């Protein structure tokens, strides 16, 4: 049997018909840093179309430090976008790599299969078979949980065997040098909105039921594993992606009771939700928006038991300057702040007014901000808004700016505390993005961009949003990754397994590598200062702004040069 193999970086997207990237044999990483690479393989036999395989990993590293995934492809039917730039992997419909199906690392090899495949990996669900003239890929992550590995050079051999004769058919080796430095604790706040209704609808379970929380635990755990440290807290149903006059499924953590016109609140369900998230490693929470999206003109849907009757008390029919709603919010926030103190979360909560208010909605936003401003003035508060006038007029202290904003330079030069975000449509002028068709460097570069621009956080609107526009209709992203507005991967970075487990994407791991680039730059800054670190960046790759878009090779080499620079000063 002839096996063609190639070891490449995590930034290379391997298609069945090509591996568009150079082989690597050596790389460096910090002691507590996850490091990923891939091995592409295909059969070169002319007479046999399919051959069963298994893989063994040989390394001085402990087996438990090496996680293995099988890369699966998804069908992208809309690959080109009107007015988009040319920085795409491809612009043609086809199957694209994105799903990471976890495999065991070095399971027992037993002889109990049929005569055409007698040697098998015991209890392994993701079997390997070569396909003639079509590449497949294995993804390996070293130190996925960020433990401290002793500095040194470690060879990692990926050896392939045929399951027919149990004979060796090929191998690739990576020498990974762990340098004597550690990433600092992640200071960058990263949130990707967690949609409880989407999770419940995908699996057909009741919101906040025992089964819901079982499934949620898997999804939150995958999020924290790749750097997400803030999660949306649906005290009331988030007023996001909802058509005017329509409602999304109720996902309200706070129980509201109204008797004789007076409000009382029960936070016991919210406490359960928070404690589950904390148990999964989540540290920060963002309260749902107090007013509707794209203008702050109305109240979100809020349910309550009024004199014994459960019903909606606020919603699209509630004007944002309603005195009744203002009274409710004041009563609620006073009790919620007591709850925050009990949970020791006063420094780990973020409030939102309204998402993406337009330029002509500033008066509505200002009025909405005044309704809650006094109550939340001592807390973190910010919104996705990209018009500098909102910041200039003092509407917000923490603007969250879209990466291709025409006013980005104003925020960078004048705002000490800003975040960035993108939606999936930012496809011009090299803007960072993580839809499926874009190169991985375009995803990962956001870490370098945020460091240079001194951004403090990143927000994305879809961690697990499996609805189409305005929450109409549902889709299975493994079968229809373009389900949201034909933007492949724009609304999610994790896939739902049929059994209730979250399946990571290649994109979410690459994004985490960008966060770790940010942290590695902080290591260098601690050694030589920020100014010298910025000089190093400019000397190495040139000017970096939110339009800087390196190739996969350039970004991989930059990170290796950064590690070498760190080595010079430790």
Contact 478, 73 (CB under 8 A): no
Neighbour-count burial of 305, counting CB atoms closer than 10 A to its CB (0-12 exposed, 13-18 middle, 19+ buried): middle
Residue 66 lies in a domain: yes
Q: Residue 116: phi, psi to the nearest 5?
A: -90, 0
Does the structure show a pLDDT above 80 at 59? yes
Residue 107: give its domain's CATH number.
2.60.40.10
Count of CB atoms situated within 10 Å of the CB of 367: 15
Residue 188 lies in a domain: no
Torsion over CA of 357, 363, 366 and 372, rounded to 10 degrees?
A: -90
CA-closest candidate to residue 431, choices 419, 444, 442: 442
Q: Tell me what pLDDT residue 48 has.
A: 63
DSSP 416-442: SS-EEEE-S---STT-----TTS-HHH
Q: Residue 174: phi, psi to the nearest 5?
A: -115, 130
Averaged confidence pLDDT in the chain = 96
| Two tokens, residue 279 | 């148990």
- Distance (Å, whole) CA 343 – CA 179: 39
Tell me whether strands 14-15 and 18-19 are parallel, antiparallel or unpaired: antiparallel
- Distance (Å, whole) CA 270 – CA 234: 8
Confidence of residue 82 (pLDDT cuts 50, 70, 90): confident
CA-closest candidate to residue 158, choices 149, 150, 168, 143: 168
Tell me whether strands 302-306 and 255-259 are parallel, antiparallel or unpaired: parallel
Residue 363 lies in a domain: no
Contact 523, 183 (CB under 8 A): yes
Placement of tokens 């706070």 in the chain: 254
Residue 96 lies in a domain: yes
CA-closest candidate to residue 354, choices 225, 214, 240: 240
Does the structure show a pLDDT above 70 at 377? yes
DSSP 64: G
DSSP 23: -
DSSP 7: E
Residue 521 lies in a domain: no
Residue 81 lies in a domain: yes
What percentage of residues in the chain have a pLDDT greater than 90? 95
Count of CB atoms situated within 10 Å of the CB of 226: 22
Residue 65 lies in a domain: yes
Q: Tell me what pLDDT residue 262 has.
A: 96
DSSP H or E segment with residue 215: helix 210-225
Neighbour-count burial of 4, counting CB atoms closer than 10 A to its CB (0-12 exposed, 13-18 middle, 19+ buried): middle
Does the structure show a pLDDT above 60 at 47? no
Does the structure show a pLDDT above 80 at 113? no
* Range of the structural domain that residue 169 is part of: 3-180
Count of CB atoms situated within 10 Å of the CB of 432: 27
Q: What is the total count of domains within the chain?
A: 1
> 3-class DSSP state for residue 60?
coil
Q: Per residue, what are the HEC states of 485-525? A: CCCCCCCECEEECCCCCEEEEHHHHHHHHHHHHHHHHHHHH
Sequence-ordered alpha helix ranges (H) in 56-110: none
- Distance (Å, whole) CA 121 – CA 128: 10
- Distance (Å, whole) CA 153 – CA 202: 45
- pLDDT (mean) for 519-544: 98
Q: Residue 45: phi, psi to the nearest 5?
A: -75, 140
DSSP H or E segment with residue 162: strand 152-162
Placement of tokens 């003239």 in the chain: 133
Residue 115 lies in a domain: yes
Q: pLDDT (tens digit, 9 = 90+) per residue, 268-297?
A: 999 999 999 999 999 999 999 999 999 999
- Distance (Å, whole) CA 237 – CA 252: 5
Contact 234, 196 (CB under 8 A): yes
Q: Tell me what pLDDT residue 83 has.
A: 85
Q: pLDDT (tens digit, 9 = 90+) per residue, 229-254?
A: 999 999 999 999 999 999 999 999 99
Q: pLDDT (tens digit, 9 = 90+) per residue, 2-21?
A: 899 999 999 999 999 999 99
Neighbour-count burial of 269, counting CB atoms closer than 10 A to its CB (0-12 exposed, 13-18 middle, 19+ buried): middle
Does the structure show a pLDDT above 70 at 563? yes
Count of CB atoms situated within 10 Å of the CB of 406: 10
Confidence of residue 1 (pLDDT cuts 50, 70, 90): confident
pTM as predicted:
0.97
Placement of tokens 């089964």 in the chain: 211
Q: Residue 510: phi, psi to the nearest 5?
A: -65, -40
Q: In what order do the strands lie in the sheet with 94-103?
A: 3-9, 35-43, 136-142, 66-76, 94-103
């Amino acid at each position: 049997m002839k096996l063609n193999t190639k070891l490449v970086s995590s930034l290379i997207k391997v298609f069945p018909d090509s591996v568009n990237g150079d082989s690597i044999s050596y790389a460096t990483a910090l002691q507590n840093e996850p490091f990923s690479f891939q091995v592409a393989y295909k059969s070169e036999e002319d007479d046999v179309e399919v051959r069963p395989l298994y893989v063994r990993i040989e390394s001085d590293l402990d087996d438990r430090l090496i996680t293995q995934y099988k890369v699966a492809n998804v069908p992208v039917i809309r690959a080109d976008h009107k007015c988009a730039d040319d920085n795409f992997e491809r612009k043609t419909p086809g199957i694209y790599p994105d799903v990471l199906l976890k495999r065991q690392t070095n399971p027992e090899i037993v002889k109990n299969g049929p005569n055409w495949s007698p040697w098998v990996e015991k209890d392994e669900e993701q079997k390997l078979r070569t396909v003639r003239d079509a590449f497949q890929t294995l993804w390996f992550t070293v130190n996925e949980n960020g433990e401290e590995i002793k500095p040194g050079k470690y060879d990692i051999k990926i050896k392939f065997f045929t399951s027919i004769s149990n004979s060796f058919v090929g191998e690739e080796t990576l020498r990974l040098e762990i340098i004597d430095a550690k990433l600092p604790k992640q200071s960058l706040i990263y949130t990707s909105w967690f949609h409880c209704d989407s999770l419940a609808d995908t699996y057909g379970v009741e919101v906040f039921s025992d089964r819901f929380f079982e499934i949620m635990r898997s999804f939150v755990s995958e999020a924290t594993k790749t750097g997400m440290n803030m999660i949306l807290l649906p005290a009331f149903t988030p007023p996001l992606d909802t058509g005017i006059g329509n409602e999304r499924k109720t996902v309200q953590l706070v129980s509201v009771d109204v008797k004789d016109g007076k409000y009382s609140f029960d936070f016991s369900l919210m406490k359960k939700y928070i404690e589950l998230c904390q148990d999964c490693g989540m540290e920060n929470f963002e309260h749902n928006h107090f007013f509707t999206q794209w203008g702050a003109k109305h109240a979100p849907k809020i349910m309550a038991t009024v004199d014994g009757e459960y019903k909606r008390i606020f919603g699209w029919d509630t004007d944002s300057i309603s005195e009744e709603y203002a009274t409710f919010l004041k009563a609620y926030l006073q009790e919620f702040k007591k709850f925050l103190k009990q949970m020791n979360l006063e420094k780990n909560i973020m409030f939102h007014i309204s998402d993406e208010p337009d330029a002509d909605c500033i008066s509505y936003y200002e009025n909405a901000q005044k309704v809650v401003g006094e109550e939340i003035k001592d807390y973190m508060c910010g919104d996705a808004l990209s018009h500098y006038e909102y910041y200039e007029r003092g509407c917000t202290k923490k603007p969250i700016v879209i990466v291709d904003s025409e006013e980005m330079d104003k925020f960078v030069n004048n705002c000490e505390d800003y975040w960035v975000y993108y939606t999936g449509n930012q496809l011009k002028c090299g803007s960072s993005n993580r839809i499926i068709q874009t190169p991985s460097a375009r995803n990962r570069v956001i870490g370098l961009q945020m460091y240079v621009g001194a951004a403090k956080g990143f927000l994305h609107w879809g961690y697990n949003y499996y609805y189409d526009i305005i929450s109409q209709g549902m889709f299975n992203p493994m079968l229809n990754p373009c389900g949201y507005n034909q933007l492949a991967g724009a609304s999610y970075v994790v896939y739902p397994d049929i059994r209730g487990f979250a399946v990571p994407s290649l994109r979410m791991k690459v994004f985490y590598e960008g966060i770790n680039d940010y942290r590695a730059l902080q290591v260098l800054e601690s050694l030589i200062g920020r100014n010298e670190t910025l000089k190093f960046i400019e000397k190495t790759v040139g000017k970096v702004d939110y339009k800087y878009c390196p190739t996969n090779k350039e970004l991989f080499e930059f990170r290796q040069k950064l590690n070498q620079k760190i080595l010079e000063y430790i």
